[in-house]
Structure 1
Amino acid sequence: MKKILITGANSYIGTSFERYLRENYPNDYLIETLDMIDVNWKNHDFSNYDAIFHVAGIAHADVGNVSEETKKLYYQVNCDLAYETALIAKEAKVKQFIYMSSIIVYGESAPYGKSKVITKDTKPSPANFYGDSKLQAEIKLKTLQDKDFNIVIIRPPMIYGRESKGNYPMLSKLAKKLPVFPKISNQRSMLYIENLCEFIRLLIKNNGYGIFYPQNKEYASTSMIVKTINPKIKTLGLLNLGVFISSKIPGKVSGLCNKAFGNLVYDKTMSIYDEEYCRYDLKESIKRTEGLI
C-alpha cells in the first residue's frame, strides 16, 4: 500500500484526489493531508510516506492591480514554500515529490481569432507574477532531483469538474441562463478532474519523474461546452461580430473576451503517457460535472 501525503488542506485538486483514491482504489493507497497554514507543519514526520503531493498555493486571481506585498506573497507561497517542503521531504527519504504548476507558465491564451499551440520546444514565458511564481518554483525544485528523490512537475491546462472554481462555473451559469450564444470554433486544452486524478495516481504508482502535460484527448471549444451544458441554447454565427468587436476594446472587456473565446492548446503528442489516464471523454466529463449523468 502506497502512502501519500497531500501538503495543503482544502484545495480543490487535493480534496478531489483524496476522494478519487478512496472511492476507486480503497485498498491500494493510504492518504493523509497536512494543513500548511498551521505553523507546526514542519514538525510533521515525513518519513512515513512514499510520495508528497504538494497542492498548497495561491490560485490565479485578478493580477491587474495588486501591491508589491501581494506579489511577494505569491512567490513565498507558490515558490518558497514548495521548495522548503520538498527539502524536508528529501531529508526524510521520501521517494517522490509532485508539484502542481500550470499552463500559465507559457503566458496567456492567444487573442480571439489567433492560434497558440504549445509544443515541446515552446519556452515558458509567464505573462505575470502568478505564472512566474510557478516557474521559479519549478526551477528550484528541479535542482533536488536525484536517483533517490524524484521531482514531478505537472503543467495542466484549465481543470474543471463538479464544484470546481474559476472560469468553468461562470461559463456554466451563462449557458443555463442565455437563450443564444456565439458560434465560435476556438480550441482549448482542458483537463477533467478525474482524468487528472488518475494521471497523478499512475505517476505515484510508477514513481515517475519529469515535467508532464496531461490533458483531455479532445480539444474543447467554448460553444461546444455551452451546447453540451444546455442543448436548448442556440449558437448563432451572427453574434460572432460582437465577439470580434469586444476583443478589440482595450482593458477588461477584451481580456474577458479572449479568455472565453481565445485559443490555447498543448500539442496532443505532449500528453501521451504509457498508461491510459483519460477515463472520460470531453462530453461525458461535462455531463458528469453538471450532474446530468
Structure 2
Amino acid sequence: MKRVLITGKNSYIGESFRKYVEANHREEIQIDVISVRGNAWKSRDFSVYDAVFHVAGKAHADVSHVSEAVKQEYYAVNRDLAVAVAQKYRSERNGFSQFIYMSSIIVYGHTHETIQETTPTNPSNFYGDSKLQAEISLRQMSNINFQILILRPPMIYGPMSKGNFPILVKMAKSFPIFPKIDNQRSMLFVDNLSEFICQIIAFRLHTNIYFPQNKEYVNTSCLVKTIRDSLNRRTLLLSGFTGIINCFVKQHNGFGIYADKAFGSVIYAKSLSSNSAVRLNGYQVVEFDESVRRSVL
C-alpha cells in the first residue's frame, strides 16, 4: 500500500482527491492530510510517505486591484512554502519518493494558441509567475530518488468547485437564451484529475511536467446548454455574436479578461496529455455529460 500525504488542509482539490481515493482505491493508497499554516507541520515525520501531494496555495486573485504586499503573499505561499515542504520531504525520506505540485495552465498567460510541448511559458500576472517560479525551484531539487511531478491542469470543475465554473453555472441558470460561440477550451473534471494522480503514483512516474485534461474539448455555448439540460431547462443558442464577443475578448481591460475567460479559446494538444504509462483515455472515469450533471446537481 502506498502512503500519501496531502499538504494543504481543506483544499478543494486535496479534499476531492482524499474522498476519491477512499471511495475507489482504499486498498492501494492510504491518505493523510495536514495543514501547512503556521509551523506545526515542520515537526511532522515525512519519511514514511511514498508521495507528498502539495495543494496548498493562493489563487483566484483580482490581479488588477492588489497591493505589493498581497503580491508577495502569493510568492510566499505558491513558491516559498512549496519549496520548504519539498526540502523537508527530501531531507527525511529515504528511497523512491514523489513530490506532486499543483501548478496551472495559467503559467502560459492569456494565449489563444493550442499549447504544445514547445509553447513557452509566459505568465501575465504575479499569480501565474508565482506558480512558474515554484516549478523552476522545485525541478532543481530532483534527483534519482526524489521525483518532482508538476501538474499543469486546465480549469478544474466538480461538485462545489470554486473559480470560474460556478460563475458559468450561475449564468447558465439565469439565461435561457445564450450566444452561439465557436471556441474551444480544455477542462478537467475533478474525479478524472484524482484518477490521474492515483495512476502516476501507481506507475511511479518520474520528474516531468504533466497536462491532464478531459478527452474532449469544451465549447462554452455547448457547456451552457449541457448545464441547462442537466437541470431539465430548454436553451436557445443564437448565432451572429462571434464577431462582437471576439472584440470584447481582445480588449486589454478587466472586461476583456472576463470575456476571455468565458469565451476565449485555450487548449492543450491532446498529445501532451498522454504518456507511455498514463494515457488520455486511461483516467477518464467520468464522461463529460455526467461530469457536468454531478457538478451542477
Change in Cα spacing, 1:151 to 1:245, as seen in structure 2 (3 Å) is closer
Q: Is the 8 A contact 1:222 1:260 kept in 2?
A: yes
Mean Cα deviation higher: 206-215 or 98-107: 206-215
Partner of 1:92: 92
Query: Is it true that 1:205 corresponds to 2:207 in the alignment?
Result: no
Between the aligned partners of 2:288 and 2:9, the Cα distance in structure 1 is 28
Query: Is it true that 1:157 corresponds to 2:154 in the alignment?
Result: yes
Query: Is it true that 1:277 corresponds to 2:283 in the alignment?
Result: yes
Between the aligned partners of 1:30 and 1:250, the Cα distance in structure 2 is 47
Between the aligned partners of 1:248 and 1:199, the Cα distance in structure 2 is 34
Q: Is the 8 A contact 1:218 1:281 kept in 2?
A: no
- Superposition deviation, residue 241 in structure 1: 5.1
Please list, as runs of the form range in 1=range in 2, the aligned pairs for 1:191-230 lying within 5 A after superposition.
191-209=188-206, 210-230=208-228
Aligned match for 2:267, one of 265, 271, 275: 265
Between the aligned partners of 1:18 and 1:137, the Cα distance in structure 2 is 24
- Superposition deviation, residue 28 in structure 1: 1.5
| Partner AA of 1:93 in structure 2 | R
Task: Report the RMSD for the aligned CA atoms in angstroms.
Answer: 1.4
Mean Cα deviation higher: 258-267 or 268-277: 268-277
Give the secondary structure class of the aligned counterpart of 2:84. Answer: helix
Change in Cα spacing, 1:243 to 1:89, as seen in structure 2 (3 Å) is same
Partner of 1:141: 138
Q: Is the 8 A contact 1:154 1:212 kept in 2?
A: yes
Between the aligned partners of 1:158 and 1:30, the Cα distance in structure 2 is 27
Give the secondary structure class of the aligned counterpart of 2:5. Answer: strand
Change in Cα spacing, 1:170 to 1:126, as seen in structure 2 (3 Å) is same
- Superposition deviation, residue 249 in structure 1: 5.3
Between the aligned partners of 1:45 and 1:268, the Cα distance in structure 2 is 39
Query: Is it true that 1:31 corresponds to 2:28 in the alignment?
Result: no
Please list, as runs of the form range in 1=range in 2, the aligned pairs for 1:242-253 lying within 5 A after superposition.
242-247=244-249, 251-253=253-255
Task: Give ranges in structure 1 of 5+ residues lacking alignment.
Answer: 111-115
- Superposition deviation, residue 39 in structure 1: 2.0
Aligned match for 1:127, one of 124, 128, 131: 124
Partner of 1:188: 185
Q: Is the 8 A contact 2:182 2:242 kept in 1?
A: no
| Count of matched residue pairs | 286
Partner of 2:239: 237
Give the secondary structure class of the aligned counterpart of 1:214. Answer: coil
Q: Deviations over 1:29-60 (max 9, x none)?
A: 11111101132110111111110000011013
Q: Deviations over 1:159-178 (max 9, x none)?
A: 00011001110111111111
Q: Deviations over 1:258-288 (max 9, x none)?
A: 1110010011100013331111222221122
Give the secondary structure class of the aligned counterpart of 2:52. Answer: strand
Instruction: Output the TM-score relative to the length of structure 2.
Output: 0.93
Runs of 4+ in 1 over 6 A off after TM superposition: none
Give the secondary structure class of the aligned counterpart of 1:117. Answer: coil
Partner of 2:115: 118
Q: Deviations over 1:205-228 (max 9, x none)?
A: 122121101101000010010000
Give the secondary structure class of the aligned counterpart of 1:162. Answer: coil
Between the aligned partners of 2:238 and 2:183, the Cα distance in structure 1 is 14
Between the aligned partners of 2:34 and 2:204, the Cα distance in structure 1 is 21
Q: Is the 8 A contact 1:106 1:123 kept in 2?
A: yes
Q: Is the 8 A contact 1:220 1:282 kept in 2?
A: no
Q: Deviations over 1:98-156 (max 9, x none)?
A: 0000011000243xxxxx11100011111011111000101110111111111100000
Instruction: Output the TM-score relative to the length of structure 1.
Output: 0.94
Between the aligned partners of 2:114 and 2:218, the Cα distance in structure 1 is 14
Give the secondary structure class of the aligned counterpart of 1:23. Answer: helix
